[in-house]
Amino acid sequence: FKNLSTLHSRNPPNKKSDKPPHKSSAKRDALLHFRKTLPIWPHAQQIRKSLSTKDVLLLVGETGSGKSTQIPQFLLSESWCTKCIAVTQPRRVAAISLARRVAEEMGSQLGMPWSTVGYSVRFDHCAGPSTRIKYLTEGMLLQEMLRDPELKQYSAVVVDEVHERSVNVDMIMGFLRALVTRDRGKRKANPLKVAVMSATADMEGLTKFFDDGYAALEKSEDDLENVKSRMEDETRTVSSSKAGQPQQQADDNKPFEESKHISTCFIEGRQYPVKIVYLPEPTLDIVEAALKSVFQIHYKEPLPGDILVFLTGQETVESLERLVNEFALSMGPEIPKILALPLFAALPQASQQKIFQRTPPKTRKVIISTNIAETSVTVPGVRYVVDSGKAKIKQFSNRLGLDSLLVKPISQSSATQRKGRAGREAAGQCYRLYTETSYTEMQKASTPEILRCDLSSAILTMKARGINDVVNFPFLDRPSMDAFAKALLQLYQLGTLNDDGGINETGRQLAKLPLTPMLGRIIVEAAKPERDCLVDVIDIIAALSVESIFLNLATEEKKERAEEARKELLRREGDHLTMLAAVRGYAAEQSDRRAWAEKYFVSHRAMQNVMNIRKQLRAQCKQLSLLPSTSLDDPTTSTSTSMSEDHTNAILQCILRGFPVNSARLMPDGSYKTLPGNQAVAIHPSSVLFGRKVEAIVFSEFVFTSKSYARGVSAVRLGWVDEVLGG
Ligand code: ADP
């Protein structure tokens, strides 16, 4: 087995491989040949040089130009790069698939103690002491920063997909700016190098952001010099009026040299023309419209040419997948086959990898994706894009005071990105499932998440890192004072802050958990001796962490059958305990879990994820001493389906402790109104409490479609709500 290519001569050799050496190296040669064709390849020298002379590189390159896979490999052989390179990704799918790809390109493997490439995403770590390139989600890097604020284990951090402007990436940018400017001295011997990469060009804003950091640093250094020189003047007491002058001038009107500290690089992408087809009339049913377009393309257009469909979320993706498969059954033998492949964040890794596999002969791949495929994942072979024009986005609802997932029109810049996916390898076509007028009415660019979401998680992270003055943190875009106030109030209500606004012990514990402060608070509450229900609460949180454990059924007949089959799992207390019953039932099944899932119309795929998350959460709780380290080693622990009323009450009270503002009371007219806020909210039809009247409810999710719905609902006592809100 040959060592890595000369580019990576300092990497440890691959000691073991289950493939014959010649086959592996032939594959790597082929990959190297492919890498050399990527638009980024000719820029390798420039990129290396720029980071050897400066600490910050800003790089703009179209999706697919090779940024995420190649840049870390270019940097690895630089003399300053003695430690690991972190590459952040907004999504776990991308982190894992990039790690896999780069490992392959480097002739390495994932998950071995000697692996050069690794990844770290929430609930899944695959990195060791030999890891030199680590793909990790933004949230994971923030978690690592809590333990290692100066990122001493890294030589470089590559911030990828900064254009997505997640709250986490904004936080990372603020921390990194401080590390390369104000705190640079703390890593004197080995200053941190930062590469920031974007698929869309807001180079100006990013340059200004870093320039401001350097300017502030220079100003404070100048100020320090001034103070020193003034002190020297005074001690000398010489009547030299000139002595202080040059310094004074420099302080007042020192011109700041643009980008003195920052390198920039533009990579022109490869883009073939893409023909756009709009709908003549708006459609209400995007799944149906997408189905039509897929078959229209399939019948009309020659092979090769795969189709990439952009839908809104797991539910729409899975329902189109089912419909495509059903319709494909009725195609004549002369029509090429269709291979429908879903792609969404919660999809298990192995299924995600299928999109990269070569399309079988006489077959057309139809990849049905959420906006993951917009910039995070490059799917080869695509010539046709079907764009629903919508995406599920997180947005803070001022009315309810919490984040909710809303299906909203995308921005023009997202629509352009989606369209671009069709023209990477040849001329393509993009079917927009909206009218041209709707396009012109779309927002030009998407609003950064930090300006539309709940800030409580971000603020807790900052406070846990010792930043108390959160308002003056260097934000790329500063949120409104109102947003800060709301988040601080929420953190206070969760019992994570002291009266002076400083973080307390509960807050510190929460910051260490890879969960939102709300879910984290439930965990901490459940660990209290008087509650003693952490094991169950972990199961519920694991189930809440995937999109839905219950299959969403298309036909009435199936719905009825599912209702009958699921009866055994239903709990009158509501959805959370029903989820718990399902998780316990699945976990208790020792022989055939797939058959168990089918019997109860539960998603086997989602449950596999739940089991993994549950395992990770248990390990994390043991680490934080919330769970005794010896418990739960027996796989059958906590799978019994019966429990006392006191115990279920304890679980519900913990959920309420994490979601105090997501509570509502029954009104005399039979509707529910939130407490506090007094806003109408209806129980979602998917809830086991739908149509039931209970004195109060707590809910873990808020969705807004035709009206405000509470999803993930449990019945609670009004007295408990008063207690939580009062205390
Ligand atoms: P960028 O970051 O500029 O979007 P990438 O470095 O992610 O580009 O990808 C460059 C090319 O490498 C893609 O166009 C694709 O062909 C290929 N590629 C990336 N990831 C994978 C993967 N997991 N499997 C197969 N091919 C991949």
131 pLDDT above the threshold of 80 = yes
Q: What is the pLDDT of residues 23-46, one digit of tens each?
A: 677 888 889 999 999 999 999 999
pLDDT at residue 312, rounded to an integer: 93
Q: What is the pLDDT of residues 463-481, one digit of tens each?
A: 998 888 899 999 999 999 9
What is the distance in A from the centroid of ligand 1 to the CA of 69?
6
383 lines ligand 1 (CB under 6 A): no
Choice between 573 and 557, residue whose per-residue pLDDT is larger: 573
3-state DSSP assignment of residue 177: helix
The atom number, within ligand 1, closest to the CA of 69 reads 6
15 pLDDT above the threshold of 50 = no
pLDDT at residue 176, rounded to an integer: 96
What is the distance in A from the centroid of ligand 1 to the CA of 337?
26
CA 242 to chain centre: 58
The atom number, within ligand 1, closest to the CA of 97 reads 23
Q: How many CB atoms lie within 10 A of CB 307?
A: 28
529 pLDDT above the threshold of 80 = yes
396-426: burial string, b at 16+ Cβ within 10 Å, e else: bbeebbbbbbbbbbbbbbbbebbbbbbbbbe
Ligand 1, atom 16, lies closest to the CA of 380
380 lines ligand 1 (CB under 6 A): yes
Which residue of 63, 88, 101 sits with most ligand 1 atoms within 8 Å of its CB, as the best mutation to test the pocket?
101
66 lines ligand 1 (CB under 6 A): yes
68 lines ligand 1 (CB under 6 A): yes
Q: How far is CA 145 from CA 391, 423, 504, 518, in A?
A: 31, 39, 19, 21
pLDDT at residue 225, rounded to an integer: 64
457 lines ligand 1 (CB under 6 A): no
What is the distance in A from the centroid of ligand 1 to the CA of 102?
9
Q: What is the pLDDT of residues 160-210, one digit of tens each?
A: 999 989 999 999 999 999 999 988 878 777 899 999 999 876 788 899 999
What is the distance in A from the centroid of ligand 1 to the CA of 2?
24
What is the distance in A from the centroid of ligand 1 to the CA of 318?
25
> Residue 256 — very low, low, confident or very high, per pLDDT cuts 50/70/90?
very low
Judged by average pLDDT, the poorest of 17-21, 60-64, 334-338, 390-394 is 17-21
Ligand 1, atom 19, lies closest to the CA of 378
Q: What is the pLDDT of residues 612-647, one digit of tens each?
A: 889 989 998 998 899 887 655 444 445 455 689 999
Write the DSSP assignment of 262-288 as a string of letters.
EEEEEE------EEEEE-SS--S-HHH
Give yes or no for a contact between 403 and 249, defined as CB atoms under 8 angstroms apart: no
Ligand 1, atom 10, lies closest to the CA of 66
Q: What is the pLDDT of residues 549-568, one digit of tens each?
A: 888 776 777 778 888 888 88
The atom number, within ligand 1, closest to the CA of 375 reads 4
Q: How many CB atoms lie within 10 A of CB 116?
A: 28
**Which tokens sit at 716?**
């609670």
448 lines ligand 1 (CB under 6 A): no
Phi, psi of 478 (to 5 degrees): -80, 125
Taking the C-alpha atoms of residue 662 and residue 652, their distance in angstroms, rounded to an integer, is 13
The atom number, within ligand 1, closest to the CA of 40 reads 3
**Which tokens sit at 522?**
């439930």
Q: Where are the beta strands (DSSP E) in 398-505?
A: 402-409, 428-432
Where are the alpha helices (H) located in 181-308, listed in sequence order?
203-236, 245-253, 286-300
Taking the C-alpha atoms of residue 391 and residue 388, their distance in angstroms, rounded to an integer, is 8
Rg (CA), the chain: 27
251 pLDDT above the threshold of 80 = no
What pTM did the predictor assign?
0.78
101 lines ligand 1 (CB under 6 A): yes
Q: How far is CA 630 from CA 135, 350, 626, in A?
A: 32, 32, 12
Ligand 1, atom 22, lies closest to the CA of 101
97 lines ligand 1 (CB under 6 A): yes
Taking the C-alpha atoms of residue 139 and residue 118, their distance in angstroms, rounded to an integer, is 16
Q: How large is the ipTM?
A: 0.97
Q: How far is CA 134 from CA 438, 568, 714, in A?
A: 41, 45, 40
Which residue of 31, 38, 65, 69 sits with most ligand 1 atoms within 8 Å of its CB, as the best mutation to test the pocket?
69
Give 548's contacts (C-beta < 8 A, 6+ positions apart): 314, 315, 603, 606
The atom number, within ligand 1, closest to the CA of 353 reads 23
Residue indicated by tokens 């399939």: 298
**Which tokens sit at 245?**
């002058």
154 pLDDT above the threshold of 90 = yes
Give yes or no for a contact between 127 and 120, defined as CB atoms under 8 angstroms apart: yes
28 lines ligand 1 (CB under 6 A): no
What is the distance in A from the centroid of ligand 1 to the CA of 295?
28
Q: What is the pLDDT of residues 366-386, one digit of tens each?
A: 999 998 888 777 788 999 999
> Residue 602 — very low, low, confident or very high, per pLDDT cuts 50/70/90?
very high
pLDDT at residue 3, rounded to an integer: 32
Residue indicated by tokens 């694991």: 542
Q: What is the pLDDT of residues 218-245, one digit of tens each?
A: 777 666 666 666 555 554 443 333 333 3
What is the distance in A from the centroid of ligand 1 to the CA of 30?
15
What is the distance in A from the centroid of ligand 1 to the CA of 101?
8
Mean pLDDT over 570-585 rounds to 95
**Which tokens sit at 235?**
């001690």
Q: What is the pLDDT of residues 665-689, one digit of tens each?
A: 999 999 999 987 888 999 998 899 9
356 lines ligand 1 (CB under 6 A): yes
63 lines ligand 1 (CB under 6 A): yes
61 lines ligand 1 (CB under 6 A): yes
Taking the C-alpha atoms of residue 103 and residue 112, their distance in angstroms, rounded to an integer, is 11
Give yes or no for a contact between 661 and 493, defined as CB atoms under 8 angstroms apart: yes
89 lines ligand 1 (CB under 6 A): no
Which residue of 73, 117, 160, 378 sits with most ligand 1 atoms within 8 Å of its CB, as the best mutation to test the pocket?
378
Q: Which amino acid is at 294?
A: V
pLDDT at residue 439, rounded to an integer: 97
Element containing residue 38 per DSSP (H, E): none
Taking the C-alpha atoms of residue 363 and residue 307, their distance in angstroms, rounded to an integer, is 11
> Residue 341 — very low, low, confident or very high, per pLDDT cuts 50/70/90?
very high
> Residue 338 — very low, low, confident or very high, per pLDDT cuts 50/70/90?
very high
Give 599's contacts (C-beta < 8 A, 6+ positions apart): 565
Phi, psi of 56 (to 5 degrees): -125, 130
What is the distance in A from the centroid of ligand 1 to the CA of 136?
16
CA 654 to chain centre: 26
438 pLDDT above the threshold of 90 = yes
What is the distance in A from the centroid of ligand 1 to the CA of 71?
12
269 lines ligand 1 (CB under 6 A): no
> Residue 702 — very low, low, confident or very high, per pLDDT cuts 50/70/90?
confident
652 pLDDT above the threshold of 80 = yes
Count H helices, E strands: the chain? 25, 21
19 pLDDT above the threshold of 90 = no
What is the distance in A from the centroid of ligand 1 to the CA of 304?
20
Give yes or no for a contact between 553 and 601, defined as CB atoms under 8 angstroms apart: yes
257 pLDDT above the threshold of 50 = no
378 lines ligand 1 (CB under 6 A): yes
714 lines ligand 1 (CB under 6 A): no
67 lines ligand 1 (CB under 6 A): yes
Long-range Cβ contacts of 705-708 (<8 Å, 24+ apart): 705/407, 707/680, 707/682, 708/399, 708/400, 708/679, 708/680, 708/681, 708/682
- Of 182, 213, 210, the residue nearest 195 (C-alpha): 210
Taking the C-alpha atoms of residue 350 and residue 399, their distance in angstroms, rounded to an integer, is 41
Taking the C-alpha atoms of residue 390 and residue 196, their distance in angstroms, rounded to an integer, is 28
1 pLDDT above the threshold of 50 = no
65 lines ligand 1 (CB under 6 A): yes
Taking the C-alpha atoms of residue 211 and residue 217, their distance in angstroms, rounded to an integer, is 10
What is the distance in A from the centroid of ligand 1 to the CA of 119?
16
Choice between 217 and 80, residue whose per-residue pLDDT is larger: 80
What is the distance in A from the centroid of ligand 1 to the CA of 195?
18
The atom number, within ligand 1, closest to the CA of 267 reads 3
pLDDT at residue 46, rounded to an integer: 93
What is the distance in A from the centroid of ligand 1 to the CA of 450?
28
381 lines ligand 1 (CB under 6 A): no
Phi, psi of 614 (to 5 degrees): -60, -40
Q: How far is CA 238 from CA 228, 231, 245, 246, in A?
A: 16, 12, 14, 17
